[in-house]
Amino acid sequence: MSRLENVGLSVISAVAAIAVLIAVATIWLFVTNPVTVATAVSEGNVTPFIRDLADVIWQALRGLLEYL
């Protein structure tokens, strides 16, 4: 493989990993805090949803780092 193909594959892998992380965190938020999700959908204000989503991701990363 050429260097450009390696860089492209790395970028695609990073984007896919981030997309999977956000998808899993969103599903977790749907299960654990449905009121925030319902409020964000009904009012059209996604700020609380994004804040809770970031908190879920942060807590998961903290737990992972504490484990390591």
Model's pTM, two decimal places?
0.66
Q: What is the CA radius of gyration of the chain?
A: 16
- At 3-33, the pLDDT tens digits run 777 777 888 888 999 899 888 888 888 888 8
pLDDT at 39 over 80: yes
User: For the chain, what are the domain ranges?
Assistant: 25-68
Given a cut of 80, is residue 68 above it in pLDDT?
no
Which of 54, 18, 10, 13 has the alpha carbon at shortest distance from 36?
Answer: 54
DSSP-based helix, strand, coil % in the chain, nearest 5:
90, 0, 10
For residue 26, the model assigns a pLDDT of 83
Give the mean pLDDT of 45-49: 82
- Answer with the residue of higher pLDDT: 54 or 67: 54
- Tell the residue number behind the tokens 């749907």, with chain if given: 30
